Every structure is written in structure tokens, then in C-alpha cells.
């Protein structure tokens, strides 16, 4: 599991930052990529990475402001010409379907794959399979805006081979069944429960990716005990009133949230074009005074999401 930033700017594209788009690479886990927001020219950004559009099977939109969705029609169209023929699902606030379908219809665009929509009208679990759950909660922005919490399900514990050998359980295909936790009957008549030969489960990882927002209790719920929190930082220290007026957050507010929620790593994005060079570095220094493990990210930055030992994470 890796996070790759395709765009980290706010409002409009700049020389050094494109508008918002974040890729969650799940190639090892489910051979797919999930995008969170698709700002203008996201497909151009993808050309500068190793990402394959055909691997994108889910797109989660936080809200319908242009800097978060204007790249969507182009990406969907290009995916058809780049070997993408598997279905793709778009999650987002009500209106995202109209935006996409009108764009495709007036341009006469035909897709080579099935497009599904899940327009969100509330909060809670929006996706689940055998490996992941995705939760959505409302944030506090000028229009309907969501934050997403991606929860990886726990991995089964390792098979304790030494214990199997000590109990004279023969190796072979039988071990695969025991690794799956199944109960098997040995040739000598013994009945063996695979669960008795598995080590502790490896807790899954948690990633929270928030849209534009003022500070709100829901943001903390989404971020609680997350391995990685992706949080906007449109404004800097001392600009709290301005951030509130424009329905955004400061770097300090994001850092305080990360500290309260016991986040492992805070990644600040949605950086205003006002902050370049040393000023962007200062955003990071300010935030680190509150929460040490903070990074102000740049376009094309990549961050692996590592496993670690922890207690059961809250599932919101």
C-alpha cells in the first residue's frame, strides 16, 4: 500500500503544484489503484508516474468544486484508449453523476467499460470487500464535502511451522488448509484446527484522506489512530480566522488534529499558491512544532504505508 500525490495545490494549477488528486496504490493488496479527487490535468500527471489508468477501479470524490473534479472526464475518456475495459465505480456527493454524464454526452465520448456511480447521501460504510472497508463522513465546507477512512482488514497470523513439526503433523498441501484456519483430519485420525497453529493476526492499516474543511469533530473521527492522515493546509499559522471564513484549515489546526487523534504520519496538501519554496518549508516547520511527524507534500511524492503492531483501530 502506497500513497502517491498527483496534485497538491489549492484552487488553480500553479507552476510547481497541480490541483488536487491523490492515488492510493493497492497493487499488492488487490491489483488496483484508487483515486481521491481528480483535479484538472490529473491524466497529464499520471503520465509522469508508473501508474496505469486501467488499474484505477475506484474514484472517491470529496466534493464538487472544480479543482477536485475538472480532470475527471478526460481521465475517464483516456482510460478507454489505454487498455481500460474493466468496470470503474465513482463515489461522491450527489451531482457527480450529472457532471460526468453531461460531460461525456456533449462531447460524444463512448467508454469501453462500464461506469458505476454511488452518490452519497449520508455517512457510514460506503464500500467493503474481503480486504478493505471505506467509510465516509461529512466535513465542514461551503458545499457538501466528505472525508474518507480506508480500513484494511486484519491479515491472518503466520503459520507456526515449528509447532506443527513438533506435533508430528506432516507437511504438504495440508499446511495450506491449516494456514487458512480450516479444520482438517489427518491420516491417523487426529482432527486439527488450523486456528490453533496460527500466530497473532497482523492488524490492517488505516488511511484517512480528507477533503476541504474547517475543523470539525468528524475529521477527528475519520483520523482516529490512522497510520496516515492526508489533511489540507490551505492556510498557515496565525490565519485561523481567515481559514474559518473560507471553510478551510491551517497547518496548525491539522497538526493539532493529528496529535489528538494519535495519527502516525500527517501529510499536508492542498497548499495555496502563495506558499512556495521557503514559505512552503515554513508551513512544515510550524506544523512540526505541534506534531513532529508531519510532511508538507509535493506533486509526485510517494509514501509507503507500513505495517506496525497496534491495538484494534476504531472503525468509526
Q: Which residue has the cell 450527489?
A: 94
- Measured CA to CA, the distance from residue 298 to residue 312 in angstroms comes to 32
**Nine-digit cell string for 123:** 455517512
- The answer to whether 244 is annotated as binding is no
262 annotated to bind ligand:
no
How many other CB atoms sit within 10 Å of the CB of residue 196? Answer: 13
Q: Which three cell numbers stand for residue 143?
A: 458545499
Helix axes 72-81, 96-106, angle to 10 degrees: 60
**Annotated binding residue at 212?**
yes
Question: Catalytic site residue 67?
Answer: yes
57, 67, 227, 299: the catalytic one is 67
Task: Tell whether 285 is in a known binding site.
Answer: no
- Locate cell 464500500: which residue? 127
Calculate helix-pair angle for 278-288, 251-260, nearest 10 degrees: 30
In this structure, the number of other CB atoms found within 10 A of the CB of residue 266 comes to: 28
Q: Where are the strands (E) in the chain, listed by range?
A: 2-7, 21-26, 32-36, 56-60, 88-93, 115-120, 124-128, 132-138, 146-152, 183-185, 191-193, 206-210, 228-232, 265-269, 294-296, 302-304
Say if residue 270 carries a ligand binding annotation. Answer: yes
Looking at residue 95, what DSSP letter applies? T
- The residues annotated with a catalytic role in the active site are 67
Residue set of the binding site for Zn(2+): 63, 65, 67-68, 141, 212, 270
Residue set of the binding site: 63, 65, 67-68, 141, 212, 270
Amino acid at each position: 500500500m502506497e500513497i502517491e500525490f498527483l496534485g497538491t495545490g489549492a484552487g488553480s494549477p500553479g507552476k510547481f503544484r497541480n490541483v488536487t488528486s491523490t492515488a492510493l496504490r493497492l497493487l499488492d493488496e488487490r491489483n488496483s489503484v484508487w483515486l481521491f479527487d481528480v483535479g484538472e490535468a490529473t491524466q497529464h500527471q499520471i503520465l509522469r508516474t508508473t501508474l496505469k489508468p486501467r488499474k484505477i477501479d475506484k474514484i472517491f470524490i470529496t466534493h464538487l468544486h472544480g479543482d477536485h473534479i475538472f480532470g475527471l472526464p478526460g481521465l475517464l475518456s483516456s482510460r478507454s484508449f489505454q487498455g481500460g475495459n474493466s468496470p470503474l465505480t465513482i463515489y461522491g456527493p450527489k451531482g457527480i453523476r450529472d457532471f460526468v454524464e453531461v460531460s461525456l454526452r456533449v462531447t460524444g465520448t463512448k467508454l469501453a467499460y462500464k461506469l458505476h456511480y454511488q452518490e452519497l447521501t449520508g455517512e457510514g460504510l460506503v464500500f467493503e470487500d474481503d480486504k478493505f472497508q471505506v467509510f465516509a463522513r461529512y466535513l465542514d465546507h461551503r458545499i457538501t464535502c466528505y472525508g474518507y477512512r480506508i480500513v484494511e482488514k486484519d491479515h491472518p497470523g503466520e503459520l507456526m511451522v515449528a509447532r506443527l513439526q513438533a506435533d508430528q503433523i506432516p507437511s504438504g498441501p495440508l499446511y495450506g488448509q491449516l494456514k487458512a484456519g480450516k479444520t482438517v483430519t489427518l491420516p491417523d485420525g487426529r482432527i486439527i484446527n488450523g486456528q490453533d497453529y496460527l500466530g497473532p493476526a497482523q492488524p490492517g492499516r488505516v488511511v484517512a484522506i480528507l477533503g476541504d474543511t474547517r475543523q470539525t469533530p468528524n475529521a477527528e473521527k475519520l483520523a482516529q489512530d490512522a497510520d496516515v492522515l492526508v489533511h489540507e493546509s490551505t492556510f498557515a499559522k496565525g490565519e485561523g480566522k481567515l481559514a474559518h471564513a473560507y471553510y478551510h484549515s491551517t497547518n496548525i489546526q491539522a497538526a493539532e488534529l493529528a496529535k489528538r487523534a494519535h495519527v502516525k504520519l500527517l501529510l499536508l496538501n492542498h497548499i495555496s499558491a502563495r506558499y512556495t519554496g521557503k514559505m512552503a518549508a515554513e508551513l512544515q516547520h510550524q506544523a512540526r512544532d505541534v506534531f513532529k511527524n508531519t510532511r508538507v507534500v509535493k506533486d509526485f511524492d510517494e509514501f509507503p504505508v507500513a505495517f506496525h503492531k497496534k491495538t484494534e483501530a476504531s472503525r468509526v
